[in-house]
Amino acid sequence: MIRIAIAGYGNLGRGVEAAVTNACDMELVALFTRRDPASVKTETDIPVYSMEDAVKYKDDIDVMILCGGSAKDLPTQTPDMAKYFNVIDSFDTHAKIPEHFANVDKVCKESGKVAIISVGWDPGMFSLNRLYGQAILPCGNDYTFWGKGVSQGHSDAIRRIEGVVDARQYTVPVEAALDSVRAGENPTLTTRQKHTRECFVVAEEGADKARIENEIKTMPNYFADYDTTVTFITKEELDRDHAGIPHGGMVFRTGTTGLNNENKHVIEYRLQLDSNPQFTSSVLTAFARAAYRLANEGAKGCKTVFDIAPAYLHPASGEELRKNLL
């Protein structure tokens, strides 16, 4: 059994707890938290320890799955933990990945550990499909669509507006754009043509709803470049109808083959996820299996999903995979 530990117990940590429990070849050996361990109520009977004591358990853990946030936690936590553990993280600030990779790789080369960073679905499975698509169809175009799904960042931006009690924002791909891409038309799409934004807002009693709606629709970066709809609902409706955290989307590679580019092809990878964090956790858990196997083979250093041969992710042997899945 591969001995897995979790660092951080938010939505992602809880998802890893479930994913490891569902895996046939893994066991949960520790949960590390920055809160008082006695205050943390877990879903399973995993032992809970203080984050600062983690190093004491370094010989008892094969892979540490880091479930902190990309903004504040992972930039320091991943390199710190890679001194003692093989680690997996879901660092998703795309622009800062090269810097994060370099920091983690340096530590891993010294400690002899394996890290796999930026694991999840975007970055993660979507990235893999962008790579496979470009490698197979070098003459072509990439398209990534997100949704329908909840954007936490956009929901938070609405909540910061005066008079807003709570909000939920859905990113929705535009059907006409999807149809055009699927038809192999290789459209050039503006931001507005790709996604719409649907906002469900709970306003304070007596708040100026027209002002709130205007502030949302004109907010730079977040909403101004999109067709945005704002619907005011009650707190009860929000809790009843918008409690989930669904997400998903599609990665397309469309391109041509032939000496005269005479044949068109469309590759589509699509995710429909009831729970964004639980799916991300499931991807993290599969890559933890790869980190364990790579470390056992003597590998060290920082890696990404691009560097992992797919067979490392699946519990079955190479022989079984060739027989049953190839």
Q: For residues 186-245, which are near a second copy according to CB under 8 A?
A: none
Give the DSSP per-residue string, 60-71. Answer: G-SEEEE-S-TT
Q: Pick from 57, 145, 222, 279: which binds a second copy (CB under 8 A)?
A: 279
- Binds a second copy (CB under 8 A): choice among 184, 189, 193, 229: 184
Which CB atom, from 26 or from 158, has the smaller least distance to a second copy?
A: 26
- To a second copy, the closest distance from the beta carbon of 125 in angstroms equals 7
Nearer to a second copy, 22 or 214 (CB): 22
Stretch near a second copy under the rule CB under 8 A, chosen from 49-57, 135-143, 192-200, 207-215: 135-143
Amino acid present at 200 = F
Candidate ranges 30-38, 154-162, 190-198, 272-280; the one touching a second copy (CB under 8 A): 272-280
DSSP state of 190: -
Stretch touching a second copy by CB under 8 A, among 61-69, 194-202, 227-235, 313-321: 313-321
Site for a second copy in 46-75 (CB under 8 A): none
How many residues touch a second copy under the rule CB under 8 A: the total is 71
Out of 38, 52, 263, 298, the only residue in the binding site for a second copy (CB under 8 A) is 263
Q: 33, 70, 77, 127: which one contacts a second copy (CB under 8 A)?
A: 127
Judge residue 30's burial from the number of C-beta atoms within 10 Å of its C-beta, 0-12 exposed, 13-18 middle, 19 or more buried. buried
d(CA 182, CA 169): 26
Asked if 114 is part of the footprint of a second copy (rule: CB under 8 A), the reply reads: no
Q: Roughly how many angstroms between the first and final C-alpha of the chain, as a whole number? A: 26
- By CB under 8 A, is residue 125 in contact with a second copy? yes
Among 79-87, 127-135, 188-196, 205-213, which window interacts with a second copy (CB under 8 A)? 127-135
Sites for a second copy among residues 89-108 (CB under 8 A): 94, 97-98, 101
C-beta closer to a second copy: residue 68 or 277:
277
CB 89 within 8 A of CB 62: no
**37 vs 49: CA distance, rounded Å:** 6
* Separation between Cα atoms, residue 125 and residue 114, nearest integer Å: 20
H-assigned helices in the chain: 11-22, 74-81, 97-111, 125-136, 152-159, 175-182, 191-194, 209-217, 235-241, 276-296, 318-324
Residue written as tokens 């945005």?
Answer: 228
CB of 170: closest distance to a second copy in angstroms?
17
Quick check: 152 binds a second copy (CB under 8 A)? Answer: no
318 is a site residue for a second copy (CB under 8 A): yes
Q: Are strands 195-203 and 164-173 parallel, antiparallel or unpaired?
A: antiparallel
Considering the rule CB under 8 A, would residue 272 count as an interface residue with a second copy?
Answer: yes
Minimum CB distance to a second copy smaller for 17 or for 62: 17
Residue of 5, 269, 292, 300 that binds a second copy (CB under 8 A)? 269
How far apart CA 48 and CA 7 sit, in angstroms, is: 10
Among 136, 185, 218, 241, binds a second copy (CB under 8 A): 136
CA neighbor of 297 nearest in space, from 28, 112, 118, 55: 112
Per-residue CA distances from 118 to 93, 152, 158, 212, 231 (Å): 9, 18, 27, 36, 34
Q: How far is the CB of 239 from a second copy (least distance, A)?
A: 17
